[in-house]
Homo-oligomer: A and B are copies of this chain.
Amino acid sequence: MKTNCENCPLRQLDLFEDMSKDELQFMSRFKTGEFIAQPGTEILAEGASSSQLYTVLDGMGMRYKTLEDGSRQVVGFILPGDFIGLQSGVMGEMKHTVEAATRMTLCVFNRSELWDLFKYQPRRAFDLTHVAATEEFLLGEMLAAVGQMNAMTKIAWVLNRFYKRLTALGLNENDQVPLPYRQQDIADAMGLSLVHTNKTLAKLRSQGVVTWSSEMLTVHRPNALAELGLSAGVPAIRRPLI
């Protein structure tokens, strides 16, 4: 069942930068196999030093940190094309946990070969750094949202972000995108209580902006959502695929 990098469906998307024939060959060698993660499974644990790195081929998940007092902060939602394990790869251990929200298909790489990538594929190494910088950028955006916005703006912001990212991945059908998370996940991501998150979602629904049920998000008024989320003029970021 190992898909070849040559016909990886993700590569075709405009969202991701192109890859040369040479790079493609290297990546095919770099890839050691595929891994299926079941919903709710921990893929990488905070503090763990994994010998594997992954690129998401299919499915969704999330990254989160657990604080000393037990509370949870979701630091990112993982979608197809995302790279997992960079921290473990370069810093020795993961600084957050990665968990599957749905069934996920992962492209597996060996950490031990990461060094070869830097040695023999400087272009790919550069791309890896690009991915790291993109992660930093996304986290910065999220920090700004969590730190400065009120509840309504936060929720609109995160839903709009999902809508845009999933649309860029070609997962938008009739203004509907898959959103297989729980309200608690959104609450923990945006620094809100579950109850208030729920009430804010209800408000968006009653205003006819979005509907979110049975793991599908329907956006009825995309412009209203973007404006509520203070993301009117925010362009999608093109990035490399690892």
Contact = CB atoms under 8 A, between A and B. Distances in A.
B71 A148 contact: yes
Given A122-B122, A125-B129, A147-B190, A140 B68 contact: no
Specify the main secondary structure of chain A where it touches its partner: helix
Given A140-B96, A143-B142, A230 B73 contact: no
Contacts of A133: 86-87, 89-91, 132
B95 A140 contact: yes
Interface string A138-172: 01111110111100000000000000000000000
A75 interface: yes
A110 B45 CA distance: 38
Contact of A119 (B73, B122, B140): B122
A115 B162 CA distance: 33
A122 B118 contact: yes
Nearest to A229: B68
Given A118-B122, A119-B122, A87 B137 contact: yes
Interface of A: 65, 67-69, 71-73, 75, 86-87, 89-91, 95-96, 115, 118-119, 122-123, 125-126, 128-130, 132-137, 139-144, 146-149, 188-191, 230-233, 237
